[in-house]
Structure 1
Amino acid sequence: MAGVYIGIDIGATFLRAGLFTGDGRLVRKIKREFPREGFSEALKSLVIDIAGGRVDSVVAVGVGSIGPLDLLRGSVVNTPNAPIKNFEIARPIRELGLKVILANDAAASAWGEYVLGLGRGFDNILYITISTGLGGGVIVDGNLLVGKDGNAHEIGHIVVDYSSRVRCGCGGIGHWEGIASGANIPRSFAEYVKERGLCGDIGSWLCEELSAGRYPKPEDIFKHYYIGDPVASKYIDDYLMVINAAGIASAINVYDPEILILGGSVALNNREVFIRGIGRYLDKYLTVRRPKIVFTGFEDNVGIYGAAALAIRTPSTLAKYAEIWNKNG
């Protein structure tokens, strides 16, 4: 197969890769756990395998990665949620003789929506992912925002609760990601329940878990919410959705998008909860006109579509970095 593109989504939990045609059609995909060691070799193996061993047929590789990024070096530095905190991306791919384009994962997803998805026809787009981590990607007047190091859209580190004592993976306190991301919901749930004395004599499995010194997983908290657990209901309806609405509104107020696209496993797996929560609280915090709000149509493939879009139609704001990464071939 000639003239194909690869999109790689580097998350905190999984590495995903997709093989795409030049018009953005997904041919096949691979999903692997984030390696505990040897990231460069794991990345090269992923590229070779998704190409079916035919790297000579690949035009370019787009990568959307968790941050923070160092775009000049083509690497990730001190990422809070992954097993490996610092790793190179551009160099291993260039060692395969392939052109590489790199962006923050949520920024790549925003670009994928702009080029191939629900963002087509809009020049001002905000993409927010609520998954293991929490981040955003922004397009203003048709331009993908990048920043000096590639981190212009780290909206997960907006402070949304000054009273919270839950520490984000980055070290900060009260951050949106530190409270509402999949990696941190268990701790923010435990803090919320403890400070408000919600368990008491309530017969809740979630309280039993906390009493045993175990943090319930996010999926367990939502599961018990759906079956009417009063502790889960109090946390999600009266706190978690307030936090999410405040964070979303803050990003909307800053970037003034025409459309907000939501993705990430926490949001996608609990759409009705988010629709109700956003509907209930968002307007309390907005100062600009509310944008159209939708969930990504790419589902959990949004990251690889976004990464592929970087390679198929490279944003002008990444051109100078692409020249640096690919200068030797």
Structure 2
Amino acid sequence: MDKPYVIGIDVGGTNTVVGIVDKRGQILRSGSLKTAKHANVEDYLDELAEVIEDVIKDIATKEQIKGIGAGTPNGNYFTGSIEFAPNLRWKGIIPFAQMLEERVGIPVALTNDANAAAIGEMTYGAARGMKDFIVITLGTGVGSGIVVNGQLVYGHDGFAGELGHVIMRRSNGRVCGCGRSGCLEAYTSATGVARTAREYLELQHDAKSQLRNIPIDEITSKDVFDAAMAGDEMAKEIFRFTGEMLGEAFADFVAFSSPEAIILFGGLAKAGDLIMNPVRESMERNLLPIFKNKVKLLFSELKESDAAVLGASALGWEVR
């Protein structure tokens, strides 16, 4: 039987998006659920299976689905497991692909969520035609998909490309969700931006900011963005700080893989020039001379949910 469809799943720390995709790369229908709602992975997978069934109905039968591809935090392409994901409530090693396959009866493959975004960008987005690039995902955490000579870099164990966990500050570094201190993710993820805002508000007692109108423990990166767009100086400074640290890290990333482009993807990328201008200035300032003015900094050309779902769905065509 012809199997003209695949399912793509983007498992984020907060939300999960599911889409049914045809051979032209069109998402025909999508659904979603709250990842963070379920403390028990069994309950989460039960609801995920229901969402998949709902997305499929009216479009295809299960027999017409070639496979399911999932992009997950700390997803291991080689084993099909989620392993020690710091931004998920389920701890340890979870044989995600096997558990989902048992529920839905369709073969499942998975990869790291940032790798899925990189595959989506290479196939449908800003990296079309490129063989060497890095996708940086700026969401609940900071992830990366590294492509060298047209191939995703997985490493010997499936975990290469954890650029969100390079250590940026060795002395008095912020504690990261991974348990270490000073990681890039602790500063430049959406949660990191909110932490920076709280630090600024506590340390700069006299500085005026509309962020003071929000309970300090409830501030989000979107609140900082909204304030910056309204001209709030403290909020703009928070984005400058975030962008400068990203640019510093990017200069190091360029040194090891000399990418044609670094592509920003995810919620924080919506900040546009607020984040991009300090990133570009900081990266160029910190680059080795041989790399200056060579590396493009781009925003994803795909809708946030679409890129990860499409990238993950590409794995669905390859499953057995």
The TM-score bracket by the shorter chain reads 0.7 to 0.9
Q: Which runs of 5 or more structure 2 residues have no equivalent in the other structure? A: none
1:45 CA drift (Å): 2.2
Match of 1:58 among 57, 61, 65: 65
2:45 is the alignment partner of 1:40: yes
Number of aligned positions between the proteins: 307
Give CA-to-partner distance per residue, 1:235-272, whole Å, 9 cap, x none. 222x21111111222222222111222110111x2012
In the aligned structure 2, how far is the partner of 1:19 from the partner of 1:273? Answer: 34
Task: Report the CA distance shift for 1:171/1:82 in structure 2 as closer, same or farther (over 3 A).
Answer: same
Match of 1:153 among 154, 161, 172: 161
Equivalent position of 2:266 in the other structure: 264
Equivalent position of 1:236 in the other structure: 239
Instruction: State the AA in 2 paired with 1:273.
Output: L
In the aligned structure 2, how far is the partner of 1:116 from the partner of 1:162? Answer: 38
1:163 CA drift (Å): 4.0
Equivalent position of 1:88 in the other structure: 95
Structure 1 residues 15-30: aligned runs within 5 Å: 15-30=16-31
Equivalent position of 1:107 in the other structure: 115
1:141 CA drift (Å): 0.6
Give CA-to-partner distance per residue, 1:73-101, whole Å, 9 cap, x none. 42212212223334332112322332222
1:129 CA drift (Å): 0.8
What's the TM-score once normalised by structure 1's chain length? 0.85
Instruction: State the AA in 1 paired with 2:308.
Output: G
Instruction: State the AA in 1 paired with 2:69.
Output: G
Greater CA drift, 6-15 or 161-170: 161-170
What's the TM-score once normalised by structure 2's chain length? 0.88
Equivalent position of 1:14 in the other structure: 15
**Equivalent position SS for 2:280:** helix
Give CA-to-partner distance per residue, 1:124-163, whole Å, 9 cap, x none. 1211110111110011011111123322011100112334
Equivalent position of 1:183 in the other structure: 191
Give CA-to-partner distance per residue, 1:174-210, whole Å, 9 cap, x none. 111111111232223323454xx3222x33232465x
Match of 1:77 among 74, 83, 98: 83
Match of 2:295 among 283, 291, 297: 291
1:112 CA drift (Å): 1.7
Task: Report the CA distance shift for 1:252/1:179 in structure 2 as closer, same or farther (over 3 A).
Answer: same
**Equivalent position SS for 1:20:** strand
Q: Which runs of 5 or more structure 1 residues have no equivalent in the other structure? A: 315-321
Equivalent position of 2:249 in the other structure: 247
In the aligned structure 1, how far is the partner of 2:298 from the partner of 2:177? Answer: 28
1:275 CA drift (Å): 2.3
Task: Report the CA distance shift for 1:104/1:130 in structure 2 as closer, same or farther (over 3 A).
Answer: same
2:144 is the alignment partner of 1:136: yes
Match of 1:214 among 190, 213, 217: 217
**Equivalent position SS for 2:224:** helix
Contact 1:114 1:125 in 2 (8 A): no
Taking only aligned residues, the RMSD between alpha carbons, in angstroms, comes to: 2.2
In the aligned structure 2, how far is the partner of 1:261 from the partner of 1:245? Answer: 12
| Percent of aligned positions that are identical | 26
Equivalent position of 1:227 in the other structure: 230
